[in-house]
Amino acid sequence: MKLRVNPIACEGHGLCAELLPELIGLDDWGYPIVDTGDVPRDLEPMARRAVAACPTLALAVERTSAGPPARSRRREAHAR
């Protein structure tokens, strides 16, 4: 999972940085600077909370691909 900010939608409220300071900082104008790496598993609930709290819906989570879902892998195993 990664965090993404829509710079057009963001109005620089800074709520995301308050809720998730481990991954989001603010620039000199109050706009978010997001860590571009994967969100650590233990911070995923807080990342979702920050996304839900964004007043302009500028913050989003992006799923990172870690291979096919378990259901697909099971089907492939049965197909062999």
Q: Please report the pLDDT score of residue 65 as a whole number.
A: 72
Picking from 38, 35, 43, 33, the residue whose alpha carbon sits closest to that of residue 12 is: 33
Number of CB atoms found within 10 A of residue 77's CB:
8
What is the CB-side half-sphere exposure of residue 64 using CA atoms within 13 A? 12
Residue 49 has what pLDDT? 96
For the chain, the domain total comes to 1
Residue 74: give the domain boundaries.
Answer: 2-79
CATH of the domain at 71: 3.30.70.20
Phi and psi at residue 72, to the nearest 5°? -65, -40
* pLDDT tens column, 47-76: 999 999 999 999 999 988 764 444 534 444
pLDDT digits (tens, 9 = 90+) for 17-53: 999 999 999 999 999 999 888 999 999 999 999 999 9
Q: How far apart are CA 2 and CA 62, in angstroms?
A: 5
